[in-house]
């Protein structure tokens, strides 16, 4: 009876020790669900920069800025680029995607940014144009050929649930969780059988 109690104690000890990293890392299935869930992104602070370019013969301005998504457990930040003539949900996400996009464009130039009361007299002759940013930094007006000179705000974006990625990844996530649970149970029984020594 005593030996059985000692063996059971070893099982509990090993399963507890093995569960600590499992809990710290988080299970694969909940992590997949969180990673593929729908998110709302809100703009942070002011624009980082404005890039004037031409693609397929059409002038375009890209506004580069940061967005943050808040959830009950954490927050995520991302770098995005947005064409004010497009939908707020149509953004280029991440520095690599932005670099690939601009590599396909012609003559990408950073535009100077001024407060409305500090715009120089010769601003209209500047190439590639300029941007007027209000003092509260809540909106901006782009003065560039092909872009209507009207006030814009940094947009909030909605990222829909990535159902395909969730369905495709679910079998792997479930298998990973099953392997972790099996490892915990296996370690516990190895400890109970005396194949693993436990220091008191």
Q: What is the DSSP string of 15-28?
A: HHHHHHHHHHH--H
Tell me the CB-side half-sphere exposure of residue 43, using CA atoms within 13 A: 21
- pLDDT tens digit sequence for 152-193: 999 998 876 554 344 444 554 455 555 555 555 555 555 555
> Quick check: is 10 in a domain?
yes
Both 29 and 43 in a single domain? no
Report which DSSP code applies to 112.
P
Instruction: Tell whether 73 and 143 lie within a shared domain.
Output: yes
183/89 same-domain check? no
- Cβ-based neighbours of 33, under 8 Å, separated by 6 or more: 166
Q: Are residues 71 and 102 in the same domain?
A: yes
- Cα 88 to Cα 153: distance, rounded to the nearest angstrom: 10
- Which residues span the domain enclosing 9? 2-34+162-192
pLDDT of residue 136: 78
| Domain co-membership, 143 together with 188 | no
For residues 60 and 86, membership in a common domain is answered with: yes
Question: 82 and 106: one domain?
Answer: yes
| SS3 (DSSP) at 102 | helix
* C-alpha distance from residue 109 to each of 80, 130, 172, 195 (Å): 17, 11, 44, 67
Would residue 198 count as lying in a domain?
no
- The total domain count for the chain is 2
Provide the pLDDT for residue 5: 42
21/69 same-domain check? no
Specify the 3-state DSSP secondary structure of 36: helix
Here the tokens at position 143 are 């003065």
Among all chains, which residue has been given the structure tokens 């809540």? Answer: 138
At 167 the pLDDT is: 44
Instruction: Check if the beta carbon of residue 63 is closer than 8 Å to that of residue 52.
Output: no
> Between β-strands 157-159 and 151-153, what pairing exists: parallel, antiparallel or unpaired?
unpaired
Task: Report in angstroms the alpha-carbon separations of 182 from 18, 25, 133, 186.
Answer: 11, 16, 58, 6
d(CA 26, CA 45): 32
Per-residue pLDDT, 184: 53
Whether the model pTM is above 0.85: no
Q: Is the Cβ–Cβ distance between 75 and 94 less than 8 Å?
A: no
pLDDT tens track for 88-142 = 899 999 999 999 999 988 889 999 999 999 999 998 888 889 999 988 777 899 9
Which pLDDT value is given to residue 8? 47
pLDDT for the residue 125:
86
99 and 19 within one domain: no
User: Has residue 199 been placed in a domain?
Assistant: no
């Amino acid at each position: 009876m005593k030996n059985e109690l000692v063996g059971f104690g070893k099982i509990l000890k090993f399963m507890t020790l093995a569960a600590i990293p499992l809990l710290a890392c988080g299970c694969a299935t909940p992590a997949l669900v969180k990673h593929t869930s729908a998110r709302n992104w809100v703009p942070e602070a002011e624009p980082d920069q404005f890039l004037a370019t031409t693609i397929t013969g059409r002038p375009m301005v890209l506004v580069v800025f940061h967005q943050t998504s808040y959830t009950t457990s954490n927050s995520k930040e991302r770098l995005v680029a947005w064409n004010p003539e497009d939908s707020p949900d149509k953004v280029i996400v991440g520095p690599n995607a932005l670099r690939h996009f601009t590599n396909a464009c012609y003559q990408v130039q950073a535009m100077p940014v001024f407060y409305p009361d500090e715009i120089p007299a010769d601003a209209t002759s500047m190439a590639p144009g300029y941007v007027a940013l209000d003092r509260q930094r809540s909106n901006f007006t782009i003065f560039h050929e092909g872009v209507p000179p009207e006030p814009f705000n940094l947009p909030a974006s909605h990222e829909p649930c990535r159902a395909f990625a969730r369905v495709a990844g679910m079998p792997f996530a479930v298998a990973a969780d099953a392997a972790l649970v099996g490892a915990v149970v296996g370690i516990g029984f190895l400890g109970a059988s005396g194949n693993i020594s436990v220091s008191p």
